[in-house]
Amino acid sequence: MKQIFRLNNFDLLRLIAALQVAIHHAAYHFEVESAWWSDLSQLVPGVPIFFFVSGFLISKSYESNSRLGEYALNRGLRIFPALWVCTLLALVSVWKVGYFDTVSVRPAQFAAWVVGQLTFVQFFNPDFMRNFGSGVLNGSLWTITVELQFYVLIPILYAALRRLGGSIRRDRIVLLTLIALFIAFSEVFHALNETRSEQIAFKLTKVTFAPWFYMFLIGVLVQRDFALFHRLLANRALVILPCYAIASWAASHFLGWKIGNQIHPAMYLVLVAAVFSAAYSAPSLSERLLHKNDISYGVYIYHIPIINLMMFNGCLKNAKDVPIAVGLTLVAATLSWLVVERPAIRRKKRPLQSIAAS
């Protein structure tokens, strides 16, 4: 079962999810969002997929090595080296095109902003950046703030499972209860979006784990019940993926359910089934296509800086600019993987201590 778990298409699926985010943002910021490929990409909502896959894989990683120091080091090596290089390159690009010469920036404010971008406050955006490109140095990085919170919560979650659970059945009950509670919170939160979206408290809540935690928890649940879900969904992608596409279209057109970042929870469960099935149908496909090169993170963090530079240089209302932005992003992501990410990942600590499975 361990070998079956490891052989999957998650690298490929994360790349597809990252490309969806890049295409969506390029189409939106270049003001060509009505293009058919932008509409089609909404069937693959990148952020919800990332959160599910993260819950699935990070929980397994913690079970394999629950030493907090090594767990933190491994998570940091995956996130921060590429993030730091990307952020510094983005800052240099803004400086080189002369934008900082056109705005008034206090040194203390600039320093605080840069420290936030390099640590865990990526969602903060100062007023002096509002007229550059999309108006944010790297607007997609708010999910890094959320993801880091997930990392912190994993040891707490497993401590709660040891205390409240103790058996497979009780662990399921605890996880399902938490999932139900956070689904309720997420639904209330998103329902208030239209009336309170400009309130500071609402904006800050959006970048906490709370509205998104149920997505991550479902990943944890699926991972811990891997044998069950593998038996039900593996090698059925050719059936499940078309069913998901039809269900998404029907739910959005007839029920008014959303399928983007604010995807309806019932629709999210169908998406999870589709993602898991795709991961474990022809599970060697990802390795054959990507040869263990995972450029999805690079695609995710580099596409907005590239879009910003293109916008600053006049790219707008031209659908041809979208594939150009995506192509440049793929080049940057590949270089990031080869030069920064892969060397950093090789410094990870191997699993030395396994947490007892409930």
Q: What is the pLDDT of residues 101-129, one digit of tens each?
A: 999 999 999 999 999 999 999 999 999 99
Mean pLDDT of the chain: 93
- Of 80, 78, 76, the closest CA to residue 88 belongs to 80
pLDDT at 33 over 80: no
Whats the size of the chain, residue-wise?
358
Output the six-digit token pair for 182. Answer: 């956070």
**Residue 268 binned pLDDT confidence (cut-offs 50, 70, 90):** very high
Q: What is the pLDDT of residue 342?
A: 97
| 274-288 pLDDT, tens digit each | 999 999 999 999 999
Burial 88-99 (b: 16+ CB within 10 A, else e): eebbebbeebeb
**Residue 358 binned pLDDT confidence (cut-offs 50, 70, 90):** very low
SS3 content of the chain, % helix, strand, coil (to 5): 75, 0, 25
| 143-171 pLDDT, tens digit each | 999 999 999 999 999 999 999 978 889 99
pLDDT at 240 over 70: yes
Q: What is the pLDDT of residue 64?
A: 92
**Residue 41 binned pLDDT confidence (cut-offs 50, 70, 90):** confident
Mean pLDDT, residues 201-214: 95
**Residue 357 binned pLDDT confidence (cut-offs 50, 70, 90):** very low
pTM tops 0.85: yes
Q: What is the pLDDT of residue 43?
A: 85
Q: What is the pLDDT of residue 198?
A: 82
Contact 296, 9 (CB under 8 A): no
Q: What is the pLDDT of residue 38?
A: 62
348: Cβ contacts below 8 Å, ≥ 6 apart: 73, 74, 77, 78
Q: What is the pLDDT of residue 307?
A: 98
Q: What is the pLDDT of residue 39?
A: 65
Contact 7, 284 (CB under 8 A): yes
User: How does DSSP assign 239-299, residue by residue?
Assistant: HHHHHHHHHHHHIIIII----STT--HHHHHHHHHHHHHHHTSSTTHHHHHHTT---HHHH
- Of 181, 188, 226, 229, the closest CA to residue 205 belongs to 188
Which sequence spans correspond to the domains of the chain? 2-345
| 86-102 pLDDT, tens digit each | 999 999 999 999 999 99
Mean pLDDT, residues 284-305: 97
